[in-house]
Structure 1
Amino acid sequence: MNRPNLSRGLLALALSAVLAGCAVGPDYQRPALKVPASFKEGDGWRLAQPADLAGHGQWWKLYGDPLLDDLQQRLVKANQTLAQSEASYRQAAALTKGARAAFFPTVSGNLDKTRSGQGGSSSSVRLADGSTVSSGSSAGISNSYTASLGVSWELDLWGKLRRQLESDTASMDASAADLAASRLSLQSQLAQDYLQLRVMDQQIKLLNDTVEAYRRALKLTENQYNAGIVTKADVAQARTQLKSTEAQAIDLKYQRAQLEHAIAVLVGEAPAQFSLAANGQVPALPAIPALVPSQLLERRPDVASAERKVIAANAQIGVAKAAWFPDLTLSATGGYRSGSFRNWIETPNRYWSIGPQFAMTLFDGGLIASQVEQAEASYDQTVASYRQTVLDGFREVEDYMVQLRVQEEESGVQKEALEAAREALRLTFNQYKAGTVDYNNVVTTQATALSNERNVLTLYGNRLTASVQLIAAMGGGWDSAQIASAGKAAAPAP
């Protein structure tokens, strides 16, 4: 290449680099939101400090139960729903790699042999008897040997490739946030099932203890009947009370088994191979620090995912608009072509071609315009979805905050009712043994006391569940800065 041609080539390359610095389409800006300064139901809650949710993702340790911690680790390793989300994230990551590869030249090689033929000649001979015989030849058959190397490179003049990479990267980040949201949801469900199972164990223990107390009461009533102090109706009532309570205890075994089976599936095991023995303990309610609403935008993975989808849709507008502008592709091909294998790779058989291709659509009947409109409508859809996700997040936190506060007040009143029911049962039973009241009064106070005992346990279980739901609603200690490493946090076995 002579010096003038070299100068023109360098000028064209410099111009391409300048043009490549611009990208059509709007740059991303976070959609406007009306974020309140504080939660309506947050009165009395202390704000979170950086150390309050230390150990991102391991929020269940607030309950101080080693077995729950072990189950959560098993869930991350073996849960199959989580495995699906993790595979989806890897697909998105691979798609991003493909978009990044578009910035580099494509190099291709070709090695082939071709055998071809064209036409042929024929001749005829007249025999002595006057007949004619025709014959043909296989002339025109040839061989062709080709070895070539080609390079093609599309210059990103208008930012189409960069916008596509921006979109695919945002989609990958959304998938990473979806993976975190799936993990948080499954961990929350596991914690709720486990805590409810421990409360169920206490319910079963209460009913078993009550059954033993009712057996003693039945024995006392039978003794009094044999002594002629009470009627047979009192014995029947005592036996009815005993058997109905035994039936309640049996029913709880079925409910406990369901919770145990659910936990087995969550940790990736068949229910037949999994069991949790009763340990007589229920974790204490943790102290949960509250967040301000603005922090919720960074703490909830579903909000982060929704915003990344907005970023991806915004970039797709640029991809669609880039179709209005011409594409510049640089390509070069060179190699050897010969009709003989023996002297194939020799200088006389060498060939090459090089040159740019500048192509654009001149008329498409409005196709590009419609694609831009589709991209803009898709962006508006993702913005609305993002705002709705934020509103749902605010609502969930408000719901669980008020639920915990109200249930705490209710728990105090319920405990007072339980103490009164226990005292009434003690007094009534003493009166029955003294012969001043019949057994019907005892049965009534027994049922009231047992109902209050179970209500206290049920309410405590509801408070534990609400605490898990609130922690999950606040992101479970997750932060949007973790998106980059979200795909490495879980790799469940197939």
Structure 2
Amino acid sequence: MRKAIYPILALGLLSACSVTVKDIPTPITLPPKFSATGQAKLFDKWWLAFNDTALNQLCEQALTGNFSLMAAFNRLDQAKAIAKKTGADLIPQVNGNVLASGVSTDSARNNDFALGLAASYELDLWGRIRSAVNAAKLDVNATEEDVFSAAISLTAEITTTWYQLVEQRQQLKLLDQQIEINRNNVTLIMVRFKGAQATAADVFQQQQLLESVIGSRYIVISSITVLENQLAVLTGKPPGTITVPIVDELPAVSPLPETGLTLDLMQRRPDIRKAYFTVQAADQRIASAIADRFPKLSLSVSVEGNSPDLQALLNNWLATVAGNLVLPIIDGRRRVAEVERNRAVSAEALNNYASSLLNAVQEVENALVQERQQRLLVTNLERQVQLARQASSMIRLRYINGAIDFLRVLSAVLSQQSLERSLLQAQVQLIEYRINLYRALAGKFPLADASTH
């Protein structure tokens, strides 16, 4: 019997090991390079390029405390458990049973002891089980890439929120300055009104402008609190329980990083790697579904012992070895339909892979052109602010000297203060475009399992 079983086991193992995971060619042709590149080094932890201690601290807190990231690690653990469960089919299953019973009468007691072991094993002749195991392992790889994608998204959200907060604090500082200027203007108009050199309408207009700036200040204070609460939640803390550093100056955007080749991007970005693993897993499931249409050969071995005497139980054994061949004949084309379904799933995965490649290149190119044009806009607004301040100063002097009416002064002040706020908004938008670029180019970085903290 052993001589008959060993060749079958060897054949099954040989067939199982012959299943390989195929490399998937790129479904589309991409340009070799991006439209622009720089010389600056691209950090794995890309936010370090801002050289911002407060930001670095927030990102590290989020990477160990954010609950959404913990949930991503939990999903990875689930995928690993599924892969272990699928791989168990490659190992023989052994079950044991023990029975002890006794019947007593007036004259005697009859005992019955039974001990048994049963083992079963399916020879993976066509690679059905091995293909399923490969697919489950590839699912683990894809889910792991999800974790890195989540970490990149989290740090990008932290960075964006942080600099929005810095910008709002800068807006608050600017509004306080504008309120002081407008109050001085109200005092000036009141003096001229008392001297019959200004009208009541001039006073009301300047007071209305002052109240408008004060109203904007209320909105900014609200936004600051909302952004601080958002940072707390992103770091895994309840709102109001963390101390956010007070920074009210936006950083200068560093030189453009080296964007590299599009091929580098494909090998670096977690979402693209996930899409690639998903295609490979779908291909393995096609192989498993096809193999499921072929005959299945299983071996079973059972050993049983039965005796009324516990000591004699170990000397009274009955061993049985059996082989079981199952050949699908009529199943209503269920297995054929499963193969067709898996082929459709594979085609979908391949199209999603192609879409991920195109989207990745688009995100990089969009960030490059947006940053380039935003830099020009910031420079333009800086010139406008400088000219508006010069014009406002000259118009105010001419008004004091009685050369022009107050409407010109009011118009100049409104234009200057609006441009000053727009400049701050443009500066933080430039930073956000750089964040988008870093995010589009980002790859894996060292990451501790947040679910264990």
TM-score (norm 1): 0.85
Q: How does 1:154-173 map to 2 (within 5 A)?
A: 154-173=122-141
1:158 and 1:142 map into 2 onto residues whose CA distance is 51
Deviations 1:393-429 (A, max 9, x none): 1221111111111111111111111111011011011
* Change in 2 beyond 3 A, CA 1:321/1:292: same
Structure 2 partner of 1:126: none
Q: How does 1:38-117 map to 2 (within 5 A)?
A: 38-39=33-34, 42-43=35-36, 45-46=37-38, 52-54=41-43, 56=44, 58-113=45-100
The DSSP-based 3-state class of the residue aligned with 2:313 is: coil
* Change in 2 beyond 3 A, CA 1:86/1:10: closer
Q: 1:305 aligned to 2:239?
A: no
Structure 2 partner of 1:121: none
Structure 2 partner of 1:180: 148
Pick one of 167, 170, 186 that aligns with 1:218. Answer: 186
* Change in 2 beyond 3 A, CA 1:360/1:461: same
CA contact (8 A) 1:89 1:172 kept: yes
1:9 and 1:82 map into 2 onto residues whose CA distance is 50
Pick one of 353, 371, 383 that aligns with 2:338. Answer: 371
Indicate the RMSD between aligned Cα atoms, in angstroms: 2.6
1:147 and 1:275 map into 2 onto residues whose CA distance is 67
Deviations 1:172-220 (A, max 9, x none): 1110111111111121111101111101111111010111111122222
2:261 and 2:310 map into 1 onto residues whose CA distance is 80
1:13 and 1:242 map into 2 onto residues whose CA distance is 89
Q: How does 1:280-299 map to 2 (within 5 A)?
A: 280-289=248-257, 290-299=259-268
Q: 1:423 aligned to 2:390?
A: yes
1:358 and 1:31 map into 2 onto residues whose CA distance is 41
1:88 and 1:14 map into 2 onto residues whose CA distance is 37
2:39 and 2:129 map into 1 onto residues whose CA distance is 44
Residue identity opposite 2:372 in structure 1: R
CA contact (8 A) 1:237 1:439 kept: no
1:7 and 1:466 map into 2 onto residues whose CA distance is 71
Q: 1:30 aligned to 2:25?
A: yes
Residue identity opposite 2:294 in structure 1: F
Q: Which moved more, 1:30-39 or 1:175-184?
A: 30-39
The DSSP-based 3-state class of the residue aligned with 1:272 is: coil
Structure 1 partner of 2:294: 325
The DSSP-based 3-state class of the residue aligned with 2:90 is: coil
1:171 and 1:314 map into 2 onto residues whose CA distance is 12
1:179 and 1:96 map into 2 onto residues whose CA distance is 17
Give the drift of 1:261. Answer: 1.7
Give the drift of 1:90. Answer: 0.6
Structure 2 partner of 1:125: none
2:381 and 2:96 map into 1 onto residues whose CA distance is 81
Q: 1:489 aligned to 2:422?
A: no
1:493 and 1:149 map into 2 onto residues whose CA distance is 40
Structure 2 partner of 1:123: none
Give the drift of 1:392. Answer: 1.5
1:413 and 1:165 map into 2 onto residues whose CA distance is 59
TM-score (norm 2): 0.92
1:421 and 1:189 map into 2 onto residues whose CA distance is 35
The DSSP-based 3-state class of the residue aligned with 1:354 is: strand
* Change in 2 beyond 3 A, CA 1:114/1:157: farther
Structure 2 partner of 1:122: none
Give the drift of 1:74. Answer: 1.2
* Change in 2 beyond 3 A, CA 1:233/1:367: closer
Structure 1 partner of 2:221: 253
The DSSP-based 3-state class of the residue aligned with 1:102 is: helix
Deviations 1:87-131 (A, max 9, x none): 001100111222333322222221123579xxxxxxxxxxxxxxx
1:275 and 1:237 map into 2 onto residues whose CA distance is 41
2:123 and 2:46 map into 1 onto residues whose CA distance is 48
Q: 1:394 aligned to 2:361?
A: yes
1:20 and 1:86 map into 2 onto residues whose CA distance is 31
* Change in 2 beyond 3 A, CA 1:363/1:27: farther
The DSSP-based 3-state class of the residue aligned with 1:74 is: helix
2:310 and 2:268 map into 1 onto residues whose CA distance is 70
List gaps (5 residues or longer) in structure 2: none
List gaps (5 residues or longer) in structure 1: 117-136
Give the drift of 1:53. Answer: 2.5
* Change in 2 beyond 3 A, CA 1:26/1:66: closer
Identity over aligned pairs, percent: 25
CA contact (8 A) 2:38 2:255 kept: no
1:310 and 1:112 map into 2 onto residues whose CA distance is 50
Residue identity opposite 2:218 in structure 1: I
Q: Which moved more, 1:231-240 or 1:403-412?
A: 231-240
Structure 1 partner of 2:404: 437
1:442 and 1:277 map into 2 onto residues whose CA distance is 39
1:93 and 1:291 map into 2 onto residues whose CA distance is 33
CA contact (8 A) 1:26 1:317 kept: no
Aligned pairs, number: 451
